[in-house]
Amino acid sequence: MFSLESITTIVQNWLTKTFSPNLALFFEFVIVGVLAIALFAALGLVLVLMERKVAAWIQIRLGPNRVGPKGILQSLADTVKLIMKEGLTPDGSDKFLFNLAPFIVMMVAMLALAPIGFSKGFHIWDINIGVLYVSAISSVSVIGILMAGWASNNKYSLLGAMRSGAQMVSYELSVGLCILSIIVLTGSLSLNDIVLSQQNGWWLFKGHIPAIISFVIFIIAVTAETNRAPFDLSEAESELTAGFHTEYSGMKFALFFLAEYINIFIVCAIGATLFLGGWMPFHLGTWEGFNHIMDYIPSFIWFFGKTFFLIFVIMWFRWTFPRLRVDQLLNLEWKYLLPISMVNLVIMTLVAIQGWHF
Amino acid sequence: MIELIIWKTDYTYMSKEEIKTAISELLPTAVFDETGEWLNVQIEAGEWKDAALKLRSLAGLSFNFLFCLTCVDWKTHFTMVYHLRATASLDDIVVKVKLDREKPEIATVSDIWRTAELLEREVYDLFGVIFLEHPDLRRLLLTDDWVGYPLRKDYEDPINMIKL
Amino acid sequence: MVEEIGKTVEGDLIINVGPQHPATHGVLHLVLTLNGETIKKVEPHLGYIHRSIEKMCESLSYRQFIYSTSRMDYLSAHINNHACALCVEKGLGIEVPARAQVIRVLMDELTRIASHELWWGAMAMDLGAFTPFFHAFRERETINDIMEETCGARLTMNYNVPGGVMADLHPNFQERVKNFLKLYKLKIHEYDELVTGNIIFQNRMKGVGYLSKEDAISYGVTGPAARGSGVSSDIRKLYPYEIYKQLEFDEILETEGDSFARYMVRLREMNESIKIIEQLIDNIPDGDFQAKTKAVLKLPKGEFYQRVETARGELGVYIVSEGGTTPYRIKFRSPGFSNLSALDHMARGGKIGDLVATMGTLDLVIPDIDR
């Protein structure tokens, strides 16, 4: 059966055989770096095109269909255009911070990729506190956005950045609590262990109603944390023109744009890992034959399938819902989502202690 | 097939005479003109503010809706034209105030009908009529440094040709 | 905090919304004074698209000036032309043939629906939902096609002339309008499902941009915006012109006075327009589409005022004639201008998002304000 694990093992074995251990490690770093950047570029292209096609489908139109067959080269053409464009730095801005901000946002998105298991035995860094690491890293991106808004010397940007700061800090709490409710069940912070614990069924189904509640809250909260509609107040083009990236152009703007999509991918990957079993195939109890067939589907297809399904759901939100107002947004978090997810966590703990889950 | 009637011009729900009696008690100095579609009331510029307050608070026939405010340049003088409607009884009157062309000044009514604030600014902008005690009398449509008042009949602008 | 609203103090954030801004739908320029996210003052700066149509009309003949009014409120161009044609007819005492009256009213109501459709899409887009815009355009396009076939233009129709309409209806007109009615009835429930019933949308709209009945009258607000505050202001009902007196339709009134009430008024008004079209489409009388008029029109000396109900409110045309071939003075009482004057009052104390929602429900068209 085709598996990415075998490829990594072959490469690993060949490298350790050919070079000294330090040099082999260095080459592995290089390979991982190149692969990560390649994945980024590919994801950016695919997700932007997917967004436009999904939007077109919902809006009863065709979407990009001129560049390449069925328009699949559209986002490549857009990227080329953005690279060619001049990256302006406005007068009166803090030039250092202004130019640094997109890279901070980008780096954060890249770092958060490390512990995600793309396939069976295929991840960059199987860290034993993977979940904690991801939540810690993703909260740094708010600094990049605040930096961009502040350094632009533009009132729209400042308002957008402040909105974004308040929003991301609040919604992180809900995300954290939802993640915790799964950690309570698995007893491990390692993403690999969490996936392995779903061998006989996904936590979404095994964890009773509390798991479903925390899944729903998780999806809402990550939509807000990635500043996607209906929570895209930091950009809110009808109110703040473009929010924190009003003054950015060319490739610097493209980095913000790309980081947004990578962040969506990461949060959806985390969601898929925690609730939908990551790369684990869909197994149904004791139906050996059915489970066997499911096992034939390569694990990375399972992972990407689940992740892209969640991404589709989030895109569906964006093209359907109107935007919330800033005070309603914070009310939703502090008055509804946070209390619910706290109570939910307590119930989940009870479920885990009593062993009521499947 | 529905029956069609020919378009009519008389919309007023009270006759002009009735409105005239009601108003003439209130404003003894007003001059009335009944030739047009609606009752025209001529008021002196000095009495306008007082008259406006009275018209606004007329019992049973309160002209609370100023639906049109404009000015006409008659070359010898300006005429301010106020179209008023009583929303309760749907009666309309037209109030006309003659202004001196050299020194066009009239009291503002923006505190009586608040829609007048922008409308008066527009008239100030295009005719140069000064509205006394207006809260914020600035140019509205044209730029602040515009010279002249375009809707006056003697306005000539060789750059922005407006005559066809 | 509340007593500070309206005054500018040191440290307030002053933001220019516009002249190029996605929410103003044109070149409206608003200067906002903010305390954080809370609006303390909204000051409109107008004139970016001021063409001085009133001055231009003074040198145009009574046949010509009608067409410049298409460029005021371009979304209800036909109704603007209608008002001017009616005013000239009133001055000349022309009797418009029955067929022309019906055609005019049919076109008016089609224009009104098209305008409200566009408003609905743009309103939802202001609130951050993009999809309704495309759904609204699906229906609006069919109306534009009907207009194109009969009038030769999709937006600025210029179909009215003094004495009637310029040309007779296209033979396909009735069939296409019926097709449109079918399509509309099939799709109108989507509007409620997609936007009206949405809980986020209702939260954004309810209690936002409150305008009391007294304020609505004092600020001269007309049209659906006034009817949302419970002010009966439908000219078609109050001062019926053409054949509106014989038609059965309701004046939609809501009493809440908030943005949601104004939204509901417009949405339900479309159904009333559909009712009118249904009554007329099979009953277009035979006869002339235009009355016989002189080649050169000369209005008698005097003053003529005609008001009609456009999609945005009461449009008044005030012609002062000296007896010549051109008007001595023309004034257009545009609904957008008066509606805009209430914006400051409505937006104060709200958030920036509320301003956008309020502005959306006022349905401002900037060329209509600037003229």
Restricting to A residues 235-254, those with a Cβ less than 8 Å away from any Cβ of C are 236-241
Restricting to A residues 296-335, those with a Cβ less than 8 Å away from any Cβ of C are 319-328
A191-228 residue pLDDT tens: 888 887 777 777 777 777 888 888 899 998 888 888 88
Number of domains in chain B: 1
Contact A322 C354 (CB under 8 A): no
CA distance A210 to C197: 28
CA distance A235 to A246: 8
Per-residue model confidence (pLDDT) at position A270: 87
Buried-exposed string C7-25: b where 16+ CB fall within 10 A, e elsewhere: eeeeebeebebbbebbbbb
Which residues of chain C does A61 touch, with a Cβ-Cβ cutoff of 8 Å? 134
B75 to chain C: nearest residue by CA? C328
C33 to chain A: nearest residue by CA? A155
A342-353 residue pLDDT tens: 898 888 888 888
C305-318 residue pLDDT tens: 888 988 888 888 99
CA distance A357 to A207: 5
Q: What is the mean pLDDT of chain A?
A: 83
Does residue B118 belong to any structural domain of this protein? Answer: yes
Mean pLDDT confidence for A125-136: 82
Does residue B163 belong to any structural domain of this protein? Answer: no
Which residues of chain A does C126 touch, with a Cβ-Cβ cutoff of 8 Å? 238
Considering just the CA atoms, what is the radius of gyration of chain C in Å?
21
- Domain with residue B65: its CATH number is 3.30.460.80
| Residue C146 DSSP label | H
Does residue B19 belong to any structural domain of this protein? Answer: no
* Pure H helices in A112-190: 130-138, 141-151, 155-186
Per-residue model confidence (pLDDT) at position A74: 86
C106 touches chain B (CB under 8 A): no
C203 touches chain A (CB under 8 A): yes
Per-residue model confidence (pLDDT) at position A2: 62
Question: For B4, which of C47, C246, C342 is closest by C-beta distance?
Answer: C246
Contact B36 C231 (CB under 8 A): no
Angle at which helix C259-281 crosses helix C352-362, to 10 degrees, equals 20
CA distance A346 to C110: 59
Size of interface A-C (CB pairs under 8 A): 83
Q: Do A and B share at least 3 CB pairs under 8 Å?
A: no
Taking 60 as the threshold, does the pLDDT of residue B11 lie above it? no
Mean pLDDT confidence for C194-217: 87
CA-nearest of C163, C162, C168 to C60 is C162
Percent of chain C with pLDDT strictly greater than 70: 97
Contact B68 C316 (CB under 8 A): yes
Contact B7 C96 (CB under 8 A): yes
Give the residue carrying structure tokens 């956008």.
C356
Give the phi and the psi of residue C211 in degrees, each rounded to 5: -135, 115
Contact C101 B4 (CB under 8 A): yes
C18-46 residue pLDDT tens: 788 887 787 888 888 888 788 888 888 88
A58 to chain C: nearest residue by CA? C131
Give the residue carrying structure tokens 């950016």.
A44
Contact B67 C304 (CB under 8 A): no
Does residue B153 belong to any structural domain of this protein? Answer: no
Question: For C218, which of B3, B11, B114 is closest by C-beta distance?
Answer: B114
Does residue B149 belong to any structural domain of this protein? Answer: no
* Pure H helices in chain C: 53-57, 65-68, 77-92, 98-126, 131-151, 173-191, 199-205, 213-218, 224-227, 235-238, 259-281, 335-341, 343-347, 352-362, 366-370
Contact A240 C352 (CB under 8 A): yes
CA-nearest of A245, A223, A215, A246 to A324 is A223
Does residue B63 belong to any structural domain of this protein? Answer: yes
Contact C302 B35 (CB under 8 A): yes
Taking 80 as the threshold, does the pLDDT of residue C111 lie above it? yes
Q: What is the ipTM of this complex?
A: 0.82
Neighbours of chain C (3+ CB pairs under 8 A): A, B
Restricting to A residues 58-117, those with a Cβ less than 8 Å away from any Cβ of C are 58-61
Neighbours of chain A (3+ CB pairs under 8 A): C
Per-residue model confidence (pLDDT) at position B162: 62
Which residues of chain B does C341 touch, with a Cβ-Cβ cutoff of 8 Å? 114-115, 117-119
**Shortest alpha-carbon distance between residue A306 and chain C (Å):** 26
Q: Give the 3-state secondary structure of residue A259.
A: helix
A65-123 residue pLDDT tens: 888 888 888 888 888 888 888 878 888 888 888 888 888 888 888 888 888 877 777 77
**Shortest alpha-carbon distance between residue A323 and chain C (Å):** 5
Does residue B143 belong to any structural domain of this protein? Answer: no
Optimal mutation site among C29, C200, C204, C205, interface A, most CBs of chain A within 10 A: C200
pTM reported for the whole predicted model:
0.85
Q: Do B and C share at least 3 CB pairs under 8 Å?
A: yes
Buried-exposed string B46-77: b where 16+ CB fall within 10 A, e elsewhere: eebbebbeebbebeebbbbbbbbbbbbbbeee
What is the extent of the structural domain holding B41?
25-132
Q: What is the mean pLDDT of chain C?
A: 86
**Shortest alpha-carbon distance between residue C149 and chain A (Å):** 24
Per-residue pLDDT band for B3 (boundaries 50, 70, 90) equals very low
Contact C195 A241 (CB under 8 A): no
Per-residue model confidence (pLDDT) at position B4: 38
Lowest mean pLDDT among A116-120, A303-307, C87-91, C153-157: A116-120
B84 to chain C: nearest residue by CA? C220
Restricting to C residues 266-295, those with a Cβ less than 8 Å away from any Cβ of B are 279, 283, 285
Per-residue pLDDT band for A27 (boundaries 50, 70, 90) equals confident
Taking 50 as the threshold, does the pLDDT of residue C124 lie above it? yes
Restricting to C residues 49-78, those with a Cβ less than 8 Å away from any Cβ of B are 50, 52, 54-56, 59-60
Does residue B70 belong to any structural domain of this protein? Answer: yes
C231 touches chain B (CB under 8 A): yes
Per-residue model confidence (pLDDT) at position C325: 85
Contact C246 B70 (CB under 8 A): no
Taking 60 as the threshold, does the pLDDT of residue A170 lie above it? yes
Contact C198 A321 (CB under 8 A): yes
**Shortest alpha-carbon distance between residue B62 and chain C (Å):** 12
Report long-range pairs for B124-127 (Cβ below 8 Å, ≥24 apart): B125/B149, B126/B71, B126/B150, B126/B151, B126/C54, B127/B71, B127/B73, B127/B78, B127/B151, B127/B152
